[in-house]
Homo-oligomer: A and B are copies of this chain.
Amino acid sequence: MAHVRVQQAPFDAGREIAALTQGRRDVGAVATFVGCVRDRNEGDAVSRMTLEHYPGMTEKALEEICAEAARRWDLLDTRVVHRVGPLEPGEAIVLVAVSSAHRGEAFAACEFIMDYLKTRAPFWKKEETPAGTRWVEARSSDDEAAARWQGGEGRP
């Protein structure tokens, strides 16, 4: 049911949202998240980011997360696009777009998918900073964000 893409090429958020509403009259709400490369992280300047992933597992992990979201909320459609390879500050990294009849489900599912993606989808960020290249460390705040959904309940 979910539409998942892992790609190097940029994506167009407007087109992804349109894909959820085009020709449909049952969609009442579309919640979308776009994550972008920032030129700062942990206090250091970031000049470039490179995304590594685990071909094959990445798509499966994202599909499984979207399926879990669809089990928890009454959703109409879900789209996730995640880029890999070299990215510059200002470029988009990921998009999660969720459609439903009402906004509560769309918002919760969109945030759920992002929180789980951050801790369960096999991507790794490498940053180029003035002090050299480094792998980004996983954030405890991301683990905490994911933990909020642990109880399997709907609302965070």
Contacts and interface: CB of A to CB of B under 8 A. Distances in A.
B26 A38 contact: yes
Contacts of A24: 90
B90 A25 contact: yes
A156 interface: yes
B92 A33 contact: no
A23 interface: yes
A136 interface: no
A27 interface: yes
A99 B56 CA distance: 32
A23 B21 CA distance: 28
Nearest to A106: B33
A61 B23 CA distance: 32
A141 B37 CA distance: 37
Contacts of A27: 36, 38, 90
A86 interface: no
A30 interface: yes
A58 interface: no
- Would you list the 5 A-B pairs with minimal beta carbon distance, nearest first? A14-B14, A25-B39, A25-B89, A32-B32, A30-B34
Interface of A: 12-15, 17-18, 21, 23-40, 89-90, 92, 101, 103-104, 106-107, 110-111, 114, 141, 145, 155-156
